Amino acid sequence: MMKKYSMETTVGIFVAVGLLCIGYMTIKLGKIPLWGEDTYPLYARFTSVSGLK
């Protein structure tokens, strides 16, 4: 009986780690910034905005 719970726990941990890895890679490959990395503010001042869309 104890062996069964041990195997289920091992499989559960393996699946959880796999899902975490897939989620992390989805975010990194999708280029979604985590915790504001790789971003910076950009300010611009225009004298005329007639050509902007």
pLDDT single digits (tens) 1-53:
667 789 899 999 999 999 999 998 988 888 776 666 667 789 988 888 887 77
Position 27 scores a pLDDT of: 82
Tokens of 42: 């950009």
Single pTM value for the model = 0.53
Gap between the Cα atoms of 10 and 4, Å rounded: 10
In a domain, 52, yes or no: no
Tokens of 51: 């050509």
Position 1 scores a pLDDT of: 63
Tokens of 13: 């941990």
Domain count, the chain: 1
Position 50 scores a pLDDT of: 86
In a domain, 51, yes or no: no
Structural domain range at position 26: 1-30
